[in-house]
Chains A and B, each alone.
Chain A
Amino acid sequence: MSKALLIDTTKCIGCRACQVACKSWNDLQGGKATFSETWSNPRFLSSNQYNRIIFREISRPEGKVEWHFISRRCMHCNDPACASACPVGALTKLPTGPVVYDDGKCIGCRYCMMACPFQIPKFEWGSAVPLIRKCTFCADRQAIGLAPSCVTTCPTGTLLFGERPALLQEAHRRIGSEPKRYYPQVYGEKIGGGTSNLYLTAVSFEELGLNHRGFRTDLGDMPQGIYGREWMSKVPYVAVAVGGLAVGLHYLQKRRAEIHAQERQED
């Protein structure tokens, strides 16, 4: 069965323990924190940073200030665009949920980075032997029956790990029982063909201002990879048609020239 992650952002307190746990389990170097106009730190995902908390501040006209903490990481699509894009099949969706990457296959073309609708795969720009890096959904931990490290660290129960259908049911139950607390849509249920990450938020991603920063809401329910696969399914027919037409025309012209020459001889 396919594992998934229910991310109830209304429960998140922005402690960033998940960021630390992720670095610790994946042996990633700590980065130097910098000041900026936002509380989010670091500012971007990178080959050294597989997840991060985005801090959003919304000031209501009546004077109320709301805080929202949104965990950002690989969505682990049910039908990932990156896996359809990769020319060597380095990226694959495991039947158990995670979208994993094979270091030994990657040629570094970076097409996955272009194709991913959530802008997740990151490149090791600093290395002379660079690879793609992204959240692995702790596939190695899952393989030995453990939950992802961020899940075990989260102190508030924001992250819930389990079977996708069960989590979806739970998500809708929460929306139904507290309609004032939640935006009535589960991000990840259908978008881009559905993802393993299921987000519950207090307001929509448009209102959070994140719909153009990795949480696109205009992707539709079709997985992006399907456009490439549709194209590829036509390729054999185009090849046969063009090849056949070329051979046919060539021999037609040749025969025409022969007849022409014969006629001339007979004259």
Chain B
Amino acid sequence: MAEKIEKWYPGEGKLTLGWGIIYVILVLGLISACARLFLGLGATTNLSDAYPWGLWVSFDILAGVALAGGGFTMAATIYIFNLKKFEPLLRPAKLSAFLGYMMFVVGLFFDLGQPWRIWHPMVMWNPHSVLFEVSWCVMLYTSVLATDLFIIGLERYGKESWIKFFRDIYIVLVVAGIMLSTLHQSSLGALFLLMPEKMSDLWATKAIGPLFFTSAVIGGMSVITLESLISARVYKRKPEMNILPDFSKGLGIALLVYFAMKVTDLYARGATVWVLDKAHFFFFLELFGTVALPALLLLFKEVRNSEKGLFWAAGLAAFGVVLNRFNVSLTSYGGYRQMSYFPSFIEIIITVSLIALGIVIFDLGMKYLPIYKSELSGESH
């Protein structure tokens, strides 16, 4: 694992194997994207009238946004809850959040039947629609994140007077970001409030909004932890082991809260839990393997204090958030639809190349922006 990651970094301008693979994926992705746009959704995807939503909605949109929850979580931690010691994690969190939302926007672009009309919700309003609210919040929040990165960019070029202007109105951005995130992270779950009759009992709940919000916090925190560990390896820095153990304590608490919420909800609705079929297998994997297990792991001091332990605990938690989004949007319908769905090669390639694009942009950000500089004191670390 470790060696592979090291190769991602282009050593001394040479094209390494890792970068080679990424470029090949990007070229394949570009070709697939053209095929998708010119041939249409039916010809290039395995979506159908029985499965109108597939891999792109589950991964690019639902999982992508949840994993990008680190941006607002860190902003709240530092500017609202005043836990200043976690400040070194703020800027990397913003960068990865921005990437997550870019993935959402690009993924959505290819998923929409009429992508060139992506701006329609701005002028054609339907305030009854949850999706209408989600599109506005995501649009505004992506702008907030872009402004944030723009300010970091200004620092690189030393535009002090501009920076001062933005610093003065900064709290507006922070509060707007937290508000918009709270709304759309939970509303992405609320999309599924309209179709309880089609979903498995395991995931069809009125509490899906708060559950989505809590798991987005988990997704954000675990991605921040992973980011610190992996980018330290890749960019030959030291991971923030002075604050990560305490930070992961927070992650553990979030996981426990989420576990309690899930169990309470299942119990209150009287859902049939102790059965064994495909849906229940994924359900058990989600609840015990990726919520309870990492929470349990993080109870141990030894785990919190070791890079390897943190990597596994945060990795499991992040995987759990992705699994939950797939379960809610795909597994949940298994017992209902007459047909089954598995993504086509083009669907998979477009999603994988979005991840590759994310890695490229992250690398550019790390190289050209003062990401490891304190926003509060201005010192680099």
**Which residues in A have some Cβ–Cβ distance to B below 8 Å?**
44-46, 81, 83-90, 105-111, 113-115, 117, 119, 122-131, 212-213, 216, 218-219, 224-225, 227-232, 235, 238-239, 242-243, 246-247, 249-250, 253, 256-257
- Knowing A107-B113, A107-B114, A128-B37 are in contact, say whether A114-B53 is a contact too (CB < 8 A): yes
Chain B residues within 8 Å of A228, by CB? 128-130, 190, 193-194
Least Cβ distance of B83 to chain A in Å?
10
The answer on a CB contact under 8 Å between A231 and B40 is: no
How far apart sit A257 and B338, CA to CA, in the bound complex (Å)? 61
Least Cβ distance of B74 to chain A in Å?
14
B: contact size bracket: 35 or more
- Knowing A86-B126, A126-B40 are in contact, say whether A224-B121 is a contact too (CB < 8 A): no
B281 contacts the other chain (Cβ, under 8 Å)?
A: no
- Knowing A84-B128, A227-B193 are in contact, say whether A114-B121 is a contact too (CB < 8 A): no
The answer on a CB contact under 8 Å between A108 and B113 is: yes
How far apart sit A231 and B206, CA to CA, in the bound complex (Å)? 10
The answer on a CB contact under 8 Å between A128 and B179 is: no
Query: Please, what's the 1-or-0 string for B211-241, where 1 marks a CB less than 8 Å from any CB in chain A?
Result: 0000000000000000000000000000000
Interface of B is mostly: helix
Chain A residues within 8 Å of B39, by CB? 128
28 A-B residue contacts at CB 8 Å?
Answer: A84-B194, A88-B120, A88-B121, A88-B126, A106-B117, A110-B113, A113-B52, A114-B194, A114-B195, A117-B198, A123-B52, A124-B42, A124-B113, A125-B40, A128-B40, A129-B113, A130-B41, A130-B113, A131-B113, A225-B128, A225-B194, A231-B187, A231-B209, A232-B128, A232-B130, A239-B179, A243-B178, A250-B79
Q: Which of B37, B114, B194, B338 has the most CB of A within 10 A?
A: B194
Residue of B nearest to A192 (CB): B197
Query: Please, what's the 1-or-0 string for B328-352, where 1 marks a CB less than 8 Å from any CB in chain A?
Result: 0000000010100000000000000
Chain B residues within 8 Å of A44, by CB? 49
Query: Please, what's the 1-or-0 string for B173-194, where 1 marks a CB less than 8 Å from any CB in chain A?
Result: 0111011001100110011011
The answer on a CB contact under 8 Å between B53 and A249 is: no
Q: Name B120's contact: one of A85, A105, A130, A253 (CB within 8 Å).
A: A105
Pick out which of these stretches binds chain A: B131-139, B246-254, B302-310, B311-319.
Answer: B131-139
**Which residues in B have some Cβ–Cβ distance to A below 8 Å?**
37-43, 47-49, 52-53, 76, 79-82, 111-115, 117-118, 120-121, 124-135, 171, 174-176, 178-179, 182-183, 186-187, 190-191, 193-198, 206, 209, 336, 338
Total contacts A to B, CB within 8 angstroms? 174
Residue of A nearest to B113 (CB): A108
Q: Which 4 A-B pairs have the closest CB atoms?
A: A108-B113, A125-B42, A89-B126, A128-B40
The answer on a CB contact under 8 Å between B131 and A109 is: yes
